[in-house]
């Protein structure tokens, strides 16, 4: 544990005007508060807050952050209260300490808490004061450095949490050095054999090639000296986890990896950066597609640098990053550079991002997403994405993740532009909406009144903002239709177990499924986002049929018949398992089965002796029940093929197809589809409804195509 004078000396080295007395007071306060407490290693517990403070001092952070580090466990683990800390050190520091305490108590690794909820809580904490997360990251870094002292199961739990949450968060904040160290420390716990293998191969490679880094560094120094450019050159091998991840992503053996060495050149001016780039490219061959200019197009977290990859000695690829000292400070500290000091004054770094603007822009779109799983998707897209830079027709720079499409560009400008998008031009050429945008391209969006987002856009869009806006618009457009469809699905599903889908039942299902209300349950049922089985199981788990239920015999699929009676489905209404049914007897010991709401039944109201109360057998029915669908589709190439593919993907067979009407712009046709039950049919109709070129899809219930008249066939016995 470093003495208080050493810590103060470390702070005063970059900030001579720091409040030495207040830091000393916090040191003594924390030491006294943690008196008698020890860590798992047996060391005094206060050694941990001191090391956290040292990590933050190495980032040249302000006094309040250093003092918060010294006190960050006092409210949680000692008798000190918020009021005591506020009285001794002021409200600002007390709020910071309280924020770190609440963040620590989130139980981010709890199996009962969804990862999406963890991220949401993190962003709420960050939005109040970003220094809270800076202290927490430093706290996690020191805990990971000393993790060998805790139990193996705790090591694995904390390492997974670090890999999933804290490491990517550090990277997103621009603190790349911390991300790499956190990943490597977690990698050492989660996959010690893999890391040891990388290290062994590294040592072997160094023995075979001598010191490659030193030789390439000397080559670069010589070239820059010849060009009369003064700059600092830093060379290093990439971290084991970074190499392991690249091996997994590219499915390459270690021997085939090339760019495992990186070099950083820190210049005196921006002009020198571009001069150095010219020198590097003149001396070594540049690798196509590996050049990125983050000086002219900085990242959202303020990062600026020129990246290029060249073929160095012996054909080995090396990555080179070129930047100024100010850019380097931001690259090392990220968003934390906003609070850093240099030469005794708060650093006025023009490249440091305002943390308030940064976190508000990052969390704005997350707030609009009320679905936990969709929120997690948005977070991961934003946390792990690289960027491309393109231009609007007016010359404005738009930053997007790599792989973004014109749809992402449209929604980045404004949600209204995205919703009304009908086409796009890239560099004045008309392109499909799924085209991937490349760096430096000019993008123009074509809009039209009355246009609405299409379901297929979800597969085209890349950014979280675009996907959230599209989902929201689709839900609003289709909500009423989906609610009506969902109500029918729910009615059928609950009646199959002898229950009714009342409002109270649906509200109960919404609570169990963590949805807003009963209407949301119905909407998700209708849009096939939730299965009816899941809804029924949420309310009546003991009544739901087991997944391994036996196959129902086609001959005995209906309950309520005598042993000598056989049934046939009414072709007028085509009833399906899962729907309420009634039987009508006819000559020859046969029974016609109809849906309870079939119009044919009205013709036999005066013959109650012929009615039978029937129901479908529980279990899995074979896909043998034909249902006729009435479709109106666009007259375009490939539409009918897509329809057949969609039905096939739903594990259904097409037994007949008939065109009713052919027009220049649309066709109307009837398709007979063999299905298992009502739920299977609804899944097929939902899939077809989502297809852009299908204007309408309905269940066909009229007597058609020479089918017999029910009245003439259903004669009295």
Annotated catalytic sites, by residue?
76-77
Q: How far is CA 464 from CA 382, 564, 690, in A?
A: 7, 61, 21
- Per-position DSSP letters for 246-284, written without gaps between them: HHHHHT--GGG----EEEEEEESSHHHHHHHHHHHHHHS
Q: Which of 20, 75, 27 is nearest to 49 (CA)?
A: 27
Buried/exposed code over 626-662 (b: 16+ C-beta within 10 A; e: otherwise): bbbbbbbbeeeeebbebbeebbeebebeeeeeeeeee
Pairing of strands 285-286, 306-311: antiparallel
Q: Which of 483, 476, 481 is nearest to 517 (CA)?
A: 483
**For helices 47-58 and 131-145, what crossing angle results, to 10°?**
120
- Torsions phi, psi of 171, nearest 5? -65, -40
What is the C-alpha to C-alpha distance for residues 76 and 82, in angstroms, rounded to an integer?
Answer: 10
Q: Are 297 and 308 in contact (CB under 8 A)?
A: no
**Residues ≥6 apart with Cβ < 8 Å to 388:** 399, 400, 401, 402, 404, 437, 438, 439
What is the C-alpha to C-alpha distance for residues 509 and 512, in angstroms, rounded to an integer?
Answer: 5
What is the C-alpha to C-alpha distance for residues 541 and 497, in angstroms, rounded to an integer?
Answer: 11
**Residues ≥6 apart with Cβ < 8 Å to 55:** 69, 138, 141, 142
- Quote the Cα angle for 472-474-479, to 5°: 95
| Helix residue spans in 310-462 (DSSP H) | 325-333, 355-367, 372-384, 406-413, 415-419, 457-460
What is the C-alpha to C-alpha distance for residues 582 and 63, in angstroms, rounded to an integer?
Answer: 80
What is the C-alpha to C-alpha distance for residues 543 and 374, in angstroms, rounded to an integer?
Answer: 31
- Torsions phi, psi of 26, nearest 5? -65, -40
- Torsions phi, psi of 393, nearest 5? -55, -25
Q: Which of 630, 636, 629 is nearest to 693 (CA)?
A: 636
Nearest-Å Rg of the Cα atoms of the chain is 33
Can you name the residues that pair with 594 across neighbouring β-strands? Answer: 582
Q: Which of 498, 539, 533 is nearest to 518 (CA)?
A: 539
Q: State the residue for tokens 């420390």.
A: 185
What is the C-alpha to C-alpha distance for residues 336 and 66, in angstroms, rounded to an integer?
Answer: 13
**Residues ≥6 apart with Cβ < 8 Å to 272:** 229, 231, 324
Q: What is the largest CA-CA distance in the chain?
A: 110
What token pair was written down for 656?
């007949």
The count of other CB atoms within 10 Å of the CB of residue 409 is 26
What token pair was written down for 387?
């960027």
What is the C-alpha to C-alpha distance for residues 627 and 557, in angstroms, rounded to an integer?
Answer: 17
């Amino acid at each position: 544990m470093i003495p208080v004078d050493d810590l103060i000396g470390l702070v005063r080295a970059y900030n001579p005007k720091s409040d030495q007395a207040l830091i000393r007071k916090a040191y003594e306060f924390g030491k006294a508060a943690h008196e008698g407490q020890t860590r798992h290693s047996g060391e005094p517990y206060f050694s941990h807050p001191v090391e956290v403070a040292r990590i933050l001092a190495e980032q040249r952070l302000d006094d309040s952050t250093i003092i918060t580090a010294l006190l960050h466990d006092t409210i949680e683990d000692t008798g000190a209260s918020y009021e005591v800390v506020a009285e001794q050190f002021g409200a600002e520091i007390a709020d910071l300490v309280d924020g770190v305490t609440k963040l620590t108590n989130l139980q981010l690794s709890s199996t009962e808490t969804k990862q999406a909820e963890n991220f949401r809580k993190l962003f709420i904490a960050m939005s109040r004061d970003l220094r809270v997360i800076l202290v927490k990251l430093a706290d996690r870094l020191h805990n990971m450095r000393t993790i060998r002292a805790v139990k193996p199961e705790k090591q694995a739990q904390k390492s997974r949490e670090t890999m999933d949450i804290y490491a990517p968060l550090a990277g997103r904040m621009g603190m790349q050095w911390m991300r790499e160290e956190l990943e490597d420390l977690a990698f050492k716990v989660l996959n010690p054999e893999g890391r040891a293998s990388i290290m062994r191969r590294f040592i072997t490679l160094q023995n075979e090639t001598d010191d490659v880094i030193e030789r390439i560094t000397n080559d670069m120094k010589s070239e820059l000296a010849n060009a009369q450019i003064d700059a600092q050159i830093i060379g290093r091998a990439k971290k084991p986890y970074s190499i392991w991840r690249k091996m997994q992503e590219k499915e390459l053996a270690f021997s085939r990896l090339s760019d495992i060495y990186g070099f950083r050149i820190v210049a005196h001016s921006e002009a020198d950066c571009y001069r150095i780039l010219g020198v590097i490219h003149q001396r070594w061959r540049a690798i196509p597609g590996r050049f990125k200019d983050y000086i002219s197009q900085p990242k959202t977290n303020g990062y600026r640098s020129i990246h290029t990859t060249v073929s160095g000695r012996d054909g080995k690829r090396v990555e080179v990053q070129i930047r100024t000292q100010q850019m380097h400070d931001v690259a090392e500290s990220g968003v934390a550079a906003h609070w850093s000091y240099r030469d005794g004054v708060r650093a006025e770094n023009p490249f440091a991002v305002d943390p308030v603007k940064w976190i508000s822009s990052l969390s704005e779109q997350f707030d609009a997403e009320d679905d936990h799983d969709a929120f997690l998707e948005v977070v991961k897209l934003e946390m792990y994405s690289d960027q491309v830079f393109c231009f609007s027709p007016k010359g404005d720079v738009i930053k997007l993740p790599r792989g973004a499409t014109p749809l992402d560009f449209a929604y980045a400008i404004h949600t209204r532009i995205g919703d009304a998008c009908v086409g796009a031009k890239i560099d004045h050429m008309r392109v499909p909406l799924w085209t991937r945008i490349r760096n430096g391209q000019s993008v123009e969006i074509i809009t039209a009144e009355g246009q609405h987002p299409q379901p297929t856009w979800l597969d085209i869009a890349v950014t979280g903002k675009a996907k959230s806006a599209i989902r929201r618009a689709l839900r609003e457009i289709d909500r009423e239709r989906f609610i009506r469809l969902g109500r029918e699905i729910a009615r059928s599903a609950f009646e199959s177990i002898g229950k009714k889908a009342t409002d109270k039942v649906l509200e109960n299902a919404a609570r169990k499924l963590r949805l807003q209300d009963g209407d949301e349950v119905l909407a998700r049922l209708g849009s096939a986002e939730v299965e009816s089985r899941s809804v029924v199981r949420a309310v009546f788990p003991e009544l739901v049929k087991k997944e391994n239920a036996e196959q129902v015999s086609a001959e005995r699929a209906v309950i309520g018949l005598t042993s000598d009676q056989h049934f046939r489905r009414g072709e007028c209404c085509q009833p399906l398992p899962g729907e309420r049914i009634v039987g009508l007897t006819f000559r020859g010991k046969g029974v016609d089965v109809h849906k309870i709401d079939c119009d044919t039944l009205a013709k036999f109201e005066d013959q109650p002796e012929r009615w039978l109360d029937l129901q479908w057998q529980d279990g899995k029915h074979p896909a043998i029940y034909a249902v006729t669908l009435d479709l109106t589709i666009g007259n375009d190439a490939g539409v009918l093929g897509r329809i057949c593919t969609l039905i096939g993907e739903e594990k259904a067979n097409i037994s007949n197809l008939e065109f009713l009407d052919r027009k220049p712009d649309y066709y109307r046709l009837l398709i007979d589809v063999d299905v298992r039950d009502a739920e299977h049919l609804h899944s097929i109709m939902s899939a077809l409804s989502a297809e852009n070129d299908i204007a309408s899809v309905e269940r066909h219930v009229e007597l058609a195509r020479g089918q017999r008249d029910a009245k003439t066939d259903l004669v009295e016995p």
